[in-house]
Structure formats: C-alpha cells, structure tokens
Amino acid sequence: MLFGRLVKAALGLFRSSLQIRALVYTLALAGSALILLGGVLSVSIGNGLFSTRTEHALEESQRAQNTIARVFRDVQVDSTWSINQAIKQVVPELESSGVTQTRTVVFLKSSNQPNASRLEDAQSENVDLNLIAKSFREDVHAKGGIQSQTVQVMRDGETVPAILTGQKITLPGGHDYQLYLIYDMANEQQTLGFVQRTLVVGGLVTLGIIGFFSFLVTSWLVRPVQEAAEASEIMASGDLSRRLPVRGTDVVAVLATSFNHMADSLQEKIKDLGDLSKMQQRFVSDVSHELRTPLTTMRLSADFLYTNRDSFADPSKRSVEILHDQMDRFDKLLADLLEISRYDAAGVKPEYEVHDLNGIVGTALASIQHFADSKGVYLDAHIPSGPVQCEVDVRRIDRILNNLLTNAIEHSEGNPVRIQVAQNQTAVAVSVMDNGIGMNQAELSQVFDRFWRADPSRKRTTGGTGLGLAISIEDALLHHGSLEVTAEPNLGACFRLTLPKRQDLTEFDSPLPLAVEKIKI
C-alpha cells in the first residue's frame, strides 16, 4: 500500500516536473553508458590478467624442465632407489622456484613402461588429482610439448580459476614421467575484484557528479520556462500586467520577448473591449433615458385619452383603446430589451439575501392565479412543509418564476400545470410542468433564444416580448444555477430551475427530476 502510494507520488512528480524528467533521463543515459564502459573495461582487464598469467605459467613450466634436469644430474640411472629419492626432491624444488605465487606440483609416471611398479609418483599436499582429467593426460602423453588448460581449484574454501600445464619428462634411464603444474590465479582474481570495485565506486561518483551538474544546468535552463509558465498562469487568472524579464539574446530571451509582446497586445485588446463595453453601457443608458421621457409623455397622454374614451366616436374610441394596449406592450419590450442589454454589457449586480423559496413561489403563484383562472388552468402546487432557504436575488427569481408560470399557463391548452419545490443538502429547485402540445428536439434547442416563439402561427395572447426565457436563463446563470427544459410532442414541457443554497457552493445536484409526465389530479 505504502509502496504503491510512493510509486504513485514519484510518477506524479515525474510527470509534473520538467526538471525531474530531464534529470531522470540524463541519469538513465549516463548510467547506461557507464555500465557499458565498466563492463568493457572489466572484461578487457580480466582478459589481460589471464593471458599474462598464462604466459608466465608456460615460461615457468619450461623452466621446470631445467630444474628437473638439475635434480637428476647426479643420479645413478640404474638405481631405482636413488631415482625415487630424486623424484621426492622434485616437488619441493618446483614448489619453491615460482616467481610470484606458489604452485602445486604433480609428478606422475606414465603407466606404459618397464619397472613402472617400482617407481613412485610425487605430488604437493592436498592436491585433488581429479583436476587432471584423463583426456588431458592422454593429450600430454600423445602430443608432447607443454599443454595447458583452465581449471577451478579450491583455495581457502573459495573456488578460484587456475592454469593447469602438463608436459612429458623423460628421466635419465628412459623413464617416462608427466609433470603437471597448477598455477592458481587468486591474486589475479583479487586484482580483478579490486578493479571492478573501483570501477563501480568511480561510476557511482561520476553518476552523482553528472546528476548534480545536470540538475544545475536544467534548473538554469528550466527556470525561465517556469517563470513563463507562472506568468501565463497569473495572466490567465486575470492579471494582465505580468511580464517576463528578458536576459541576453538567446532562445529563452526570444521566448520572454514574444511572451511580453503577446501580453501587451492581449492587454490592449481587452482594454479596447472594456472601453467598447463601457461605451455600449453608456449608450444603452443614454438611449433608455432619452426614450423614457417621451415614452412617459405618450403613456400619460394615452392614459388620459383612454380614461376619457367614452367622449370619442366609435372608430376613434377603438383607436384609443388600441393605442393604450400597445403602450403596455411597448413598455414591456423596452424594459426587457434594456435588461438583456444590461446582461450583455455585464452590468448586472445581483443583491443576494437569504429567502424561503416556498415564500417566493407562493407569492408568484398568488400573483398569477388570476391569469390562470382566466385560462381555466388549475395550478397543482407541491410545496414542502419546512422552509426551503436559499441565498438569492429575490426579484430575479420572482421574474423567472413569473415567466415560467406565464409560459406554462399559456401553452397548457387548459390542462393543469404542476409546480414542485424541493431541496437537498446543497441546492433548491422549482419545476413547472405543463401538459400542452410540447416541443420537438429542434424547438427545444431554440427555446432560450431571443425572440424565439414556440409556434409562430399561434395567437399572442399575453403579448410576451419573446425575451422572457432569454432573460430567465441569464438570471439563473447569474445565481450560478441552471434553468433546464425537457419536452415531448403532445405530452408537454417541463422547466426546472436549480439554484445553489449558498453562492459559495459550486457543485450541486438538482433535487428534482427533469421529466414530463401526464398530470393526474
């Protein structure tokens, strides 16, 4: 478990840090190179040591013949006893005459000769005669000269490589003997071991040095990249005044320079856009004020005429009535247009307060009841008994509800409209469902578009502006909530408004389903 977590952490670090990745790659490559180099060195040093030792062994074996000749110089040829005496001397003579290390000596008589049973063999102590294979003995007997072979011997409980040489010796009196000398290579093995240890230690130290320097170099190279990354993050989070220091004329300096250029032009563009937006806001504000005063006068004039409409003849009277109604429509349209342009100019400042959603819905239902009655639509409200507290700008939520309810009543074809309120830990929701003609997929996708109408051929009864849902969705988004819709042709539509309970809650699920069904009372 812990190991797994460590691996995960290390992998994370590896992925997230450019510098660590560079360091790891450098160390891996340098390490491989060092291992290869060390291997080659170790093999060639080993070979060199071995071949030198073999050469020495052969030379010494050559000289052994002289030693034997010297030992047998004064021996009486016909006396088996004195020959045997001499044979006994051969082993200590040869053991001691080596230059470097002690040798092990085996002096064996060849089997196929007369008087063989009376002659003796001689050998150093603790020699394992099995080392000298039968085939090697036959080679030595048949080929003549000095034969050599690599064998393994035990030395102080450890196996070490050794060189075995064998040669045919003819003693005075014509006795055939075979001289075997075993040169162990414990010293060479030790030397090789030392060299290998030195190579490993040297390799590790070199790797450490390479790691240290590559860390220095990469951090020196990566730092400007890191600075650029930090600066771009700061810029992305809105601070456009951040710039990078430019040092020298290398590629990093080019990066910094072009980054700064980019930041400059971005800042300029955003300032331009900001100016444009301010200008637009100002324009909207000016236009609205300029429009409102004459509109007010017209409104008052129309009201006055309307109040006194009975004093007009019939066609004039009807005109006054039409004028009066259209003033209302014009009012609403202008108000909605101004509201949406305020959203476009990002000039909306919500005022949050904690409210009971049940209360807001109740008020909205009460104010729409008259309209529902006039359409013969039953409002089927399902409101939880406890308080449904949420942090909202109550005027905007009220506006959304009014919009959804008006739309539902208008499109319900006289069927009931169901209103549901619910809450969970993080969010509150209201859904408004009607059993009207519904909508198809193409219509659904346009329902929040400006000036879009569900059915252009339908008579406009309430004189909606066509901006209601477009404003509602802006209101919902302003609260960091959502306004969603689903519908089925000939079944009806369901709108669901979901709002976070507090404005600092960013993640939440709606406590109500988004689905259309047949309403049964």
Partner 1 sequence: MAKLLIVEDDDALREQLEIGLTASGYEVCFAATGTDAIPAFEKHQPDLVLLDLMLPGKNGIEICTELREFSGVPIIMLTARTDDSDMIRGLEAGADDYVTKPYKTEVLVSRIKARLRPIKAKATSHPIVNIGPVEMDTLSHEVRKGDQKISLTPLEFKLLLTLASHPNEVYTREMLLEQVWEYTYKADTRLVNVHVQRLRSKIEDDPENPKLVLTVRGWGYKAGPE
Q: Which residues are at the interface with partner 1 (CB under 8 A)?
A: 284-285, 288-289, 292-301, 303-304, 307, 327, 331, 334, 338, 349, 351, 353-356, 363, 367, 389, 394-395, 398
317 touches 447 (CB < 8 A) = no
Smallest distance from the beta carbon of 4 to partner 1, in angstroms? 50
Tell me which amino acid residue 209 is: I
508 touches 480 (CB < 8 A) = no
- Centre a 10 Å sphere on the Cβ of residue 456 and count the other Cβ atoms it contains: 7
Question: How does strand 379-382 pair with strand 492-500?
Answer: unpaired
Which residue, 332 or 453, has its beta carbon nearer to partner 1?
Answer: 332
Which residue, 233 or 290, has its beta carbon nearer to partner 1?
Answer: 290
Smallest distance from the beta carbon of 509 to partner 1, in angstroms? 24
Residue 405 makes CB contacts below 8 A (sequence gap 6+) with 364, 365, 368, 372, 379, 417, 419, 432
Smallest distance from the beta carbon of 283 to partner 1, in angstroms? 11
Closest CA to 166 of 143, 141, 146, 151: 146
Q: Alpha-carbon torsion 267, 268, 273, 278, what sign?
A: positive
Smallest distance from the beta carbon of 329 to partner 1, in angstroms? 12
Smallest distance from the beta carbon of 366 to partner 1, in angstroms? 10
Tell me which amino acid residue 90 is: V
Two tokens at 182?
Answer: 């075993």
Smallest distance from the beta carbon of 484 to partner 1, in angstroms? 26
Which residue, 243 or 329, has its beta carbon nearer to partner 1?
Answer: 329
Smallest distance from the beta carbon of 331 to partner 1, in angstroms? 6
Alpha carbon dihedral 19, 23, 26, 29, in 10-degree steps, equals: -130
Tell me which amino acid residue 277 is: S
Smallest distance from the beta carbon of 287 to partner 1, in angstroms? 9
Which residue, 233 or 328, has its beta carbon nearer to partner 1?
Answer: 328
Two tokens at 235?
Answer: 């810029």
Query: Distance between CA atoms of 229 and 260, rounded to whole angstroms?
Result: 13
Q: What is the DSSP letter of 48?
A: H
Smallest distance from the beta carbon of 250 to partner 1, in angstroms? 54
Smallest distance from the beta carbon of 304 to partner 1, in angstroms? 5
Query: Distance between CA atoms of 451 and 444, rounded to whole angstroms?
Result: 14
Distance of CA 373 to the CA centre of its chain: 60
164 touches 136 (CB < 8 A) = yes
Which residue, 156 or 351, has its beta carbon nearer to partner 1?
Answer: 351
Which residue, 85 or 367, has its beta carbon nearer to partner 1?
Answer: 367
> What does residue 167 show for φ and ψ, rounded to 5 degrees?
-150, 155
Which residue, 328 or 517, has its beta carbon nearer to partner 1?
Answer: 328
Query: Distance between CA atoms of 477 and 391, rounded to whole angstroms?
Result: 14
User: Locate tokens 């000298």: which residue?
Assistant: 132
Which residue, 398 or 410, has its beta carbon nearer to partner 1?
Answer: 398
* H helix or E strand, kind and range, residue 261: helix 251-307
Which residue, 187 or 297, has its beta carbon nearer to partner 1?
Answer: 297
87 touches 122 (CB < 8 A) = yes
Which residue, 22 or 334, has its beta carbon nearer to partner 1?
Answer: 334
* HSE of 292, CA atoms in CB hemisphere, 13 A: 10
